[in-house]
């Protein structure tokens, strides 16, 4: 590595990123932080853009349509938001056959991010079953993404839900609600 300083720098950068991810997971395992107490916020949709780009490259056969939304703060640690949104968007991309639509809505005191995808993998009769650790509707899933996303959202006073879309009978809507 000493003979190639660029490679050494790239390796140090990757190791630092891995250490930060490990530290984050350890902090979550120890109970996580409550953003309502710490005042941490995530700016939307700016925080969503790099995740959409990265997952778009991993799933090049899927179109991702994101309705533009004004910049708004959500009461959520940025690393936690990345984990929540990344898990849910990746889940939608893996289970859908068509395009994914993302839109952000505001209601009194809450921000909702809705990820809509076609119903290629049908929901169980009781959609709450999706949040059971180990539940998987497909072969490419660990069954951890939705439960982890919900746990993190709830730590920040929000929630994650999944249900048939009200405006599209052939679609599933996954909703992240944050304060």
From the number of C-beta atoms within 10 Å of its C-beta (0-12, 13-18, 19+), residue 101 rates as: buried
| pTM, full prediction | 0.79
Q: What is the rounded distance in angstroms from the CA atom of residue 51 to the CA atom of residue 87?
A: 10
SS3 6: helix
Res. 161 pLDDT band, cuts 50 70 90: very high
Q: How far apart are the first and last CA of the chain?
A: 47
In angstroms, the Cα distances linking 6 to 2, 9, 16 are 9, 5, 15
pLDDT at 24 over 70: no
Tokens of 124: 């169980």
59-102 confidence digits (pLDDT tens): 999 999 998 777 889 989 898 999 999 999 999 998 888 899 99
Average pLDDT, the chain: 84
| pLDDT score recorded for residue 65 | 94
Give strand pairing partners of 176: 113, 160
Q: How confident is the model at residue 146 (pLDDT cuts 50, 70, 90)?
A: very high
């Amino acid at each position: 590595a000493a003979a190639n300083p660029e490679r050494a720098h790239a390796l140090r950068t990757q190791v630092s990123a891995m250490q930060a991810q490990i530290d984050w997971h350890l902090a979550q395992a120890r109970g996580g932080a409550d953003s309502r107490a710490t005042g941490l916020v995530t700016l939307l949709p700016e925080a969503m853009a790099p995740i959409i780009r990265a997952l778009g490259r991993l799933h090049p056969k899927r179109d991702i349509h994101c309705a533009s939304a004004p910049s708004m703060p959500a009461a959520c640690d940025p690393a936690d938001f990345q984990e929540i949104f990344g898990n849910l968007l990746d889940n939608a991309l893996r289970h859908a056959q068509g395009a994914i639509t993302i839109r952000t809505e505001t209601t009194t005191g809450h921000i909702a991010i809705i990820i809509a995808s076609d119903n290629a993998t049908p929901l169980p009769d009781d959609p709450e079953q999706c949040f059971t650790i180990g539940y998987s509707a497909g072969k490419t899933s660990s069954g951890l993404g939705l439960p982890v996303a919900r746990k993190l959202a709830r730590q920040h006073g929000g929630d994650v839900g999944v249900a048939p879309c009200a405006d599209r009978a052939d679609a599933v809507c996954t909703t992240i609600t944050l304060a």
